[in-house]
Amino acid sequence: MGDAIESIPLGSPVDPAQISRELKKLWDRDAGISTRASLMNFAVLCQGETAMRANTELLMEFTRTHACRALLIGSNPGTGPDQIRAWINAHCHLSRAGSKQVCCEQVSFYFEGNTGNRIPNILYTSLDSDLPLFLWWQGEFPEPVNSELLAWVDRLIFDSHLWLEPRIQIGRIRAALSTTRCRTVLCDLNWTRTLHLRQAMAQMLDHPANLALLEDLHTIVIAHSAEFRSTALLLLGWFTAQLRLEPVRESADGFTFVSPQGRRIQFDVREETGRSISRCELHSAGGAILCQRDHAGDFFRIEVRLDRLDRHYHHLLPAGDNATARLLLEEIGSGGPHRVYLKALAACEAYL
């Protein structure tokens, strides 16, 4: 077990109590040929040696575009002796001028045995001054979530697609945050997974002629692959929140809502073979907007039918590749308090 973690390129092993001193030595040694850069603390909390290796490779790429102090925290609870090991490393990339390297620090910890309760203290003592803290929590949250760990987190990143019971997980996060200062922004990579589709549908409704389709909208179809039902439900939540729909009932073949004008709108959320969200359709008495994700490429084929005006349009828009690293970069770059996500989550949480 120990040999496996040592084979991961985590950098130089150091005493966990001497992180600051060892980092200073690292930069003193490289003075003149490299510049240290950091705009935030980016912490990744994972479990097991496989995840440590994968995240080390991801952080090497992440620091190319985001200057940060990277904190990789791995755990292997309940096995072996109680011990905490630490490593320091620097990810360096040539500046645009090509004459000097720009470097970001990576501090890695591995908690073994019954040492997990020490993660919050060691994390906070390893932060880079008062820079914001982004924490990527991989996997499911325990019961209860350590509120001390979340107390200083500015943005909490997770992927609800990976959870077996998303509603329970969201409840655990809310319970932990209710006991801390309410500054943490929830960043769900599963929500980010719908970004390009939401942008595409919103773009189609920018034109007044297309927007008129919402006046007599009656059906919205969302087709998803088997493991991405929660992604489809977040998209349902976005539609219902933005259109201010109220639920009427839930049935085996979909969901029925009512608009502020009293119009009934049926959601058909169905499982189909294909990409995460392979199809999204808006059907109205006056026409339809049909969005199909290409099976091989990362783009949407969109067809707009305006039957009353006898018009028919075709569009091709980017869909994103939905790789975890790409979702993370898009999420970090988006910023903001994610109010739309919170509204969509509230609208669909009962169905998760």
What does the domain layout of the chain look like in residue ranges?
A: 2-188, 192-322+337-351
Q: Is the predicted pLDDT of residue 147 greater than 80, yes or no? A: yes
Q: How confident is residue 148, by pLDDT bands cut at 50, 70 and 90? A: confident
Q: Does pLDDT of 24 surpass 90?
A: no
Q: For residue 187, with 0-12 CB atoms within 10 Å meaning exposed, 13-18 middle and 19 or more buried, which class applies?
A: buried
83-104 pLDDT per residue, tens? 999 999 988 876 665 555 778 9
CB 89 within 8 A of CB 63: no
Q: Does residue 317 contact residue 256 with C-beta atoms inside 8 Å?
A: no
For the segment 195-215, the average pLDDT, to the nearest whole number, is 96
Average pLDDT over residues 304-326: 94
pLDDT given at position 51: 95
pLDDT for position 34: 67
40-78 pLDDT, tens digit each: 999 999 999 999 999 999 999 899 889 999 999 999 887
- pLDDT for 313 equals 96
Bridge partners, residue 249, by sequence: 256
Beta-carbon-side half-sphere exposure of residue 147 (alpha carbons within 13 Å): 12
Question: In b/e form, how buried is each residue of 197-211, taking b as 16+ CB within 10 angstroms?
Answer: bbebbeebbeeeebe
DSSP category for residue 31: B
List pLDDT tens digits, range 241-295: 999 999 986 655 579 999 999 999 999 999 999 999 999 999 999 999 999 999 8
User: Are 194 and 228 spatial neighbours (Cβ–Cβ below 8 Å)?
Assistant: no
What average pLDDT does range 306-318 have in this prediction? 95
Most confident among 85-94, 100-109, 159-168 (mean pLDDT): 159-168
**How are strands ordered across the β-sheet holding 246-251?**
246-251, 254-258, 264-271, 217-224, 277-284, 287-293, 299-306, 311-318
Cα three-residue angle 236-238-242, rounded to 5 degrees: 125
C-alpha 313/C-alpha 5 separation (Å) is: 56
In the chain, % of residues over pLDDT 90: 71
At 28 the pLDDT is 78
Look up the pTM and report it. Answer: 0.92
What fold characterizes domain 192-322+337-351? Answer: Dihydrodipicolinate Reductase; domain 2 (3.30.360)
Which pair of structure tokens corresponds to residue 120?
């919050």
pLDDT confidence tier of residue 31, bands split at 50, 70 and 90:
low
